Structure 1
């Protein structure tokens, strides 16, 4: 324990900098290409934020003013929060704003009303997002930092004296049931939580903490920063994208920085197992003896997953006998300063009792109980399920300017109603459900009510007779949900099967687009059997209870019968040997019965991803004893019968050179305006397969592939030739506008030129999407010699890391072309080469295609304009995201007749279309399509 007890948060910082001046705060940013850590000592950080706080006073705002802190990096957020506190202001941490303009404007208006004013502290990117909203007072962190250079205040300077019961920090709730509420935490509530957590974690000044939870979340700011700082512990804060894009970094940091305490939600445990379990090359690689505790929250921790994680870490450790740590699932909320109940368990020696790990016992000062959810007061007996309530000094004091919400969440004697359903048995708590209307997917909470609002619009659904309910099937890695609804049509009617098929397909499509996950079950229930409460609400708890008890089995069976009929009406039994062989391969890929595969099935509509395409190609080549089935032909022939005909032509050697057509249809369902996507600088379009799936049953998705891959096809020799070819192909595919065109990386400037050409002949282009590309590419193209094109290709394909490419480039250039390829080939990921079915000969030719495209761009100078441009930006090749946006991308303003927009998307330049990020990218991309009126 610290020798003195601080009474305010400001005392925490003073104490830490005075007693442990050389201890460190480390940061790995979203733009870091390796594990480079930016470091500030406690002493230097203390001086830095006090200078900023003094500068803030120049704003002239009264003490106690609320400042909205809207930043992305841990260091920036941490800096802003401490500066606000020391200046006598109240920071309110704002999570990422919605990409939907209406949602964003509604939220900001709500915040303005809630606080009676809006002062925002943000960066240039945040300011751009807020630019369209009037009445905001916006301050840039960069401007504040520049002004702070004029000050050097004493190391104990504060703007005013504060008391322990003064408001300290505001946190916004997720707003899952409407607009966000602002949770008020005082200095007293936060300090009570920090003291109790630190004791529970056995923190000391020698502890090293690793955090990658966002700072706008109470776990990131209070549990993993304020608490360790109180005990003098050093900390490393990593942007989430740096861990999710490279989970190995999690283990490398534990090894290299002797991390003792870290955080990992269930989905990261599962991802690490999936990625590392079969990596025999990593066995014995890491020193993991320092790690003593891994906290886990955000979603339930599956016992088997946690046990497997422990096994994998021991296998990868240099000395498994020295690896001894607890996994500590916990329960907490914004209202309780994050975790307040924990159950640290050593899974190497303890066998879990339940499917999910228990959540444990309260920290010092916290109490818990289970009560009857109807009256909120009657305490349930040990082992009985009911509503979880907690109380203690770490529980928030009120919702800001919302007495009604505050009063409804507390009952007699200060008990807080969490809204969760739990069981306490022998003093140990575990959750069994949620009263609140949210579903958690990979630790991200989605509002059920918002989802239901969109699902209600589906034709075939009786309005107000639909409910979506969270549900986790046995052994399922993450939470899912079930849709219950009453159809508008008679399930016994003649056309019931067709209508049901169409309705269920629409419900699935909306679910995937909104929360990246299809429902596990869709259950149609006749309207006279759909129960409602006396207040006219669907009884969700009753429905899920009936489902689990098997009481809805007859409705599920009837739906399956009708869907089977609908499918049977279009089912074509594979009739040739080739069709049957392909059906068998597809059945293995999608874990289906062979008899379920129709010759008329579309590979991508069955769920095929880019990796599945490679698997189909590989298994098909082996089965049919063919040297190659070109990936392009699988993309062009996704229907099994069509692909079978193509393979038959290969088997009979009837393979005339096809005329080049740049258009590759990746999905053809839906009747809305098609989208055309131009290839990146490597020329291929397989990278768009994962994105195209999100547009099924909505709009056709076409990709434009470069010329020169197939035998007999020459390379493009100029940008004009390429643009003329692509524009003509778009017109052949979609004779009349309006058009929607996008391009990824290099393809962005090509898409811009295609749009201009279409407009020049009188067509309307309503959407031009430019993804992470500057209008001025000539300089970069001149730098891309054959070596550069090769390394760029290897990086794009995930065969090498950015660091590996940068380190290797100087040593390669003196070598011959053949020698260069051999060196890079040997250093590439063998697993990835196998996945992509690549040979040195294929890669050599692919580099030539990429070089031909680079040549076309060397003399490119943008000119003219398009009606409107939508620019999407991710972490760039080099430098910071803000510099990339402001110095390289903003020049697109000069080429857009309407207002250009700039949308921040997750991931790095080379990864934003990967499975880890594409689900979020498609939502942001779709929102811009809608904003431009693309129907």
Structure 2
């Protein structure tokens, strides 16, 4: 006799533990630098969560109480959900809180008011983030675990009776268009979704990970591997290793990750035929539209890296779903190796069992559109949510007659297959993250030159573009044919771009000024984004775009300096090639970094310059110090006439000089170089100057530092020369954080005000004495920081390298380094060897350093990977900074691991968080 089917979620975990006791959950956490895997069997996990549930009952909360779960690791979130369900509570998952104090406090107050209570289960770090809000009942996961260790309850223990239509889990919407709504799902709705997904086995989706990444597979007894996103982003090869080693059948990869993996892995010709990928059957994707060409290239790359390409059956399955639909409810599996996509974006497909979909007229929400016609997408089925918590108005307005839910998306159904063609909702989705259009518009309305209430932002994606972008339409306050129109337009567009980049990490693809007498509003006084977008696509706004281009060219021409010398002309040609511009558009006064360059562009400039001028080297640091074309030409001329010559050491490297706010000085990390800050500095353009401080010893004739005191004194004097009076803003990543602290102490002793001291992931004790700090450690630390080796490889290499000579060690790491990365960094074995000397000298300085004294206030930036490691956090980690700050030190979480906080993937979010702390300090 077959066992009874689960009728509540609680039955799922009990049945899985009983029927598949030895099946496993595997977890790779954000803090696992060595990608070690924690494993729990279904049986042991079931026992663990039952013990947690027993401990929860000690809180004496009534049945049905809502528990807000604010944790970061998959295992902890998973365990907390099950413990709540078993104890008879209703879990509500809280994503990462905003780093902006006002937004965070407003959100938490909203949740408190919505639920009429606030029970939070979190970590010590999470509790610190919540300590500014009164009236919260905060419970620590560490205390709950400690209490649960006293119990060993029966695996089938049931403290409270649960019914299928009881509230099961509450999910918060993104809040991209205002404060989050609370989506209520019952045991019945979630089980309906799990059964339907399981039939087609489409179980992994990021919209509601606890359902599709965990509960649906658990219902069918599937072992699972849960990986923190940062582990894949920091080491794309781990994606392939996991498929190989764990025999993964199904995985989830949103479009932006597919694009990143394609970019990173297609370069690895050294890995062709390396991985056994025969187990993988389906890659599910959601969150944003999947670009067909990107997906095809990704599949081709995986086949190339597979040990046996003919055994690889890679099916990409785009999906559509929402929090309200228990995540994915429409899917379209497609084998891109054998099937050519019909459209620019992969179709989203057909609904799962029990789910229905239709396209209707957006005007009345009821008239069904014909096959192939565009309209509002609506869905219905047993997996739909039952209500928005304490918000009946929003609930009723989300449904139309017949139980159809209004998704807010514009779609087309053709021959039973659905694809999206737009969105009714006020959001822009960039790399899978939703940003609210109204909030962006509100800030842009404040720009000088923008007529208030005559600005609209609309999503836009050009052909072949990998992620969504947007267009800004606005009416200027000035006459576009007036005397100063060109300079006014230039300043207005620059301000619009700056605000956009800082708010949603992306600049508008088009900024279109439309005279106010030609900007139509509705009878309700609103601009129609849909109409403006339609006019743009039809070419009706071409005359406004052309006029803007004409005026911007005129503004640029006012300060344009024609390159005159042969060297300037040659550099202008290189600048034009790098930025895809016409050679005639390059001015001798152009600043390389103001043109939007990245660290990769810098390497290209160096490489092309050396080749053209037949120079053995143009030092990178000299390009940083001579970013203006005419200045760089003069430096190149000096090399051509005299050869490389030693210059007086100056630690200050200006990375961008525009803006009127207090300058920011960022001290180098432990590798001594400052290239890592290039991508960060561009976010401060037209806001504040950004200077980096580079270590001594890289250039010929310059000795290394011999003590922290010597270094700090030198840096303090250099900052003073650059900015004679305060207030000062100092920061440092890794090693540089301690140096920023030391510089600040010297300034305060002189009576100067230091308003901001930012310490990014470094202990006040500078050098971690737990490690063997020998030359091998210096080699591997530098190589890890430069992305020449992975953390796994560095750990594996250390024992075998130590007995070898210095030369042999360099030879081995050199052979293991990706050739394209060595080319990007313009490294040679001798340069790497010298770089290790400089880095090693900094470690030597730090060995004898003991922190002392204090400063007015410290801002500590904590990587996600560290904040859950309680022992490291409280002892050898960052928490000891409290002793060196006269005010309570502020701790702010930033995405990533220590070695990738400033890389291309994390710096857009880092700069937003960092900026909020500058603003909080009055800067």
TM class by smaller structure: over 0.9
> What is residue 527 of structure 2 aligned with on the other side?
538
Partner of 1:640: 629
Q: SS at the partner of 2:353? A: coil
Whole-angstrom distance in 2 between the partners of 1:885 and 1:515: 31
- Give the C-alpha shift of residue 814 in structure 1: 2.7
- Is 2:192 the partner of 1:192? yes
Unaligned 5+ segments in structure 1 are: 203-208
Structure 2 contact 444–496 (Cα < 8 Å) conserved: yes
1:408 counterpart = 2:397? yes
Alignment partner of 1:836 out of 820, 825, 833: 825
State how 1:312-331 maps to structure 2 within 5 Å.
312-331=301-320
Assess, with a 3 A threshold, how the Cα gap between structure 1 residues 822 and 327 changes in structure 2: closer, same or farther: closer
| Residues 235 and 790 in structure 2, CA contact (< 8 A), matched pair in contact too | no
Deviation string, structure 1 residues 567-621 (Cα, Å, up to 9, x no partner): 1111112111111111111222222222222111111111211122122111111
Q: Which residue of 1 aligns with 2:82?
A: 82
Contact map agreement 1:509 1:697 (CA 8 A) in 2: yes
| Superposition pairs of residues 533-612 of structure 1, within 5 angstroms | 533-612=522-601
Q: CA deviation at 1:657?
A: 2.9
Q: Specify the alignment match of 1:99 in structure 2.
A: 99
Alignment-derived partner of residue 497 in structure 2:
508
User: Which of residues 254, 258, 269 in structure 1 aligns to 2:247?
Assistant: 258
In the TM superposition, 1:698-737 aligns within 5 A as 698-737=687-726
Partner of 2:773: 784
Query: Are 1:771 and 2:760 matched, yes or no?
Result: yes
Specify the alignment match of 2:857 in structure 1.
868
Aligned equivalents of 1:345 and 1:686: distance in 2?
A: 42
Q: Which residue of 2 aligns with 1:815?
A: 804
Please tell me whether the aligned partners of residues 441 and 456 of structure 2 are also in contact (alpha carbons under 8 angstroms).
Answer: yes
Equivalent-residue separation in structure 2 for 1:116 and 1:368 (angstroms) = 36
Aligned-residue offset at 1:186: 0.4
Q: Deviations over 1:696-732 (max 9, x none)?
A: 0100000111111112222222222211111111111
1:331-730 mapped onto 2 (5 Å cutoff): 331-653=320-642, 656-730=645-719
> What's 1:206 paired with?
none
Whole-Å separation in 2 of the counterparts to 1:889 and 1:845: 31
C-alpha spacing 1:274/1:655, structure 2 compared with 1 (3 Å): closer
SS at match of 2:906: helix
Equivalent in the alignment of 1:895: 884
Corresponding pairs, count: 922
Aligned equivalents of 2:614, 2:5: Cα separation in 1: 75
Unaligned runs of 5+ in 2: none
Deviates more, 1:122-131 or 1:50-59: 122-131
- Give, in angstroms, the shift of residue 286 of structure 1: 1.5
Offset, 1:782 = 8.6
Give the counterpart of 1:885 among 873, 881, 887: 873
CA contact (8 A) 1:755 1:866 kept: yes
TM-score between the two structures when normalised by the length of structure 2: 0.98
Q: Deviations over 1:732-768 (max 9, x none)?
A: 1111110000011111111101001011111100000
What SS is found at the alignment partner of 1:114? helix
1:25 maps to which residue? Answer: 25
CA contact (8 A) 1:778 1:861 kept: no
Partners of 1:897 and 1:164 in 2: how far apart? 55
Q: Which of 728, 738, 741 pairs up with 1:739?
A: 728
Q: CA contact under 8 A between 2:196 and 2:352: conserved in structure 1?
A: yes
Note closer, same or farther for the CA distance 1:790–1:286 as it changes in structure 2 (3 Å cut): closer
User: Are 1:875 and 1:881, in contact at CA under 8 Å, matched by a contact in 2?
Assistant: no
Larger mean Cα displacement after TM superposition, 586-595 or 256-265: 586-595
Say whether the 8 Å CA contact 2:123–2:142 is kept in structure 1: yes
- The whole-number CA distance in structure 1 between the counterparts of 2:702 and 2:247 is 56
What is the rounded CA distance, in whole Å, between the counterparts of 2:740 and 2:769 in structure 1?
18
Asked if the contact 1:875/1:909 (under 8 Å) is kept, the reply is no
User: In the TM superposition, what whole-angstrom CA distance separates every residue of 1:374-399 from its partner, at most 9, and x where no partner exists?
Assistant: 11111111111110111110000100
Which residue of structure 1 aligns with residue 211 of structure 2? Answer: 222
- TM normalised by structure 1 equals 0.97
Kindly state the Cα deviation for residue 883 of structure 1 after the two structures are TM-superposed.
Answer: 3.2
Deviations for 1:115-164, whole angstroms, at most 9, x for unmatched residues? 00100001112111112222111111111011001111111112211111
Measured in 2, the distance between the counterparts of 1:858 and 1:479 equals: 48
SS in 1 for 2:796: helix
Residue 818 of structure 1: how far off its partner (Å): 2.5
Match of 2:295 in 1: 306
Structure 1 stretch 386-395 or stretch 522-531: which is displaced more? 522-531
Change (3 A) 1:242 1:778: closer
Looking at structure 1, the residues matched to 692 and 354 of structure 2 have their Cα atoms a distance apart, in angstroms, of 60
Match of 1:123 in 2: 123
Q: Deviations over 1:375-427 (max 9, x none)?
A: 11111111111101111100001000000100110111111000000111121
Q: Which moved more, 1:143-152 or 1:854-863?
A: 854-863
Greater alpha carbon shift after TM alignment, 315-324 vs 20-29: 315-324
Contact kept? 1:774, 1:889, Cα under 8 Å: yes
Matched, 1:268 2:257: yes
Distance 1:595 1:884, change over 3 A: farther
Alpha-carbon distance in structure 2 between the residues aligned to 1:406 and 1:512 = 34
Q: Which segment drifts farther, 823-832 or 886-895?
A: 823-832
For residue 913 of structure 1, the aligned residue among 889, 902, 908 is 902
Deviation at 1:802, TM superposition (A): 1.8
Secondary structure in 2 matching 1:915: coil
Distance of 1:783 and 1:682 partners within structure 2: 17
Q: Deviations over 1:463-486 (max 9, x none)?
A: 111111001111111100000111
User: Matches of 1:801 and 1:262 in 2, distance apart?
Assistant: 23
Shift of 1:435: 0.3
* 2-structure distance, mates of 1:348, 1:832: 30
The match for 1:795 is 784
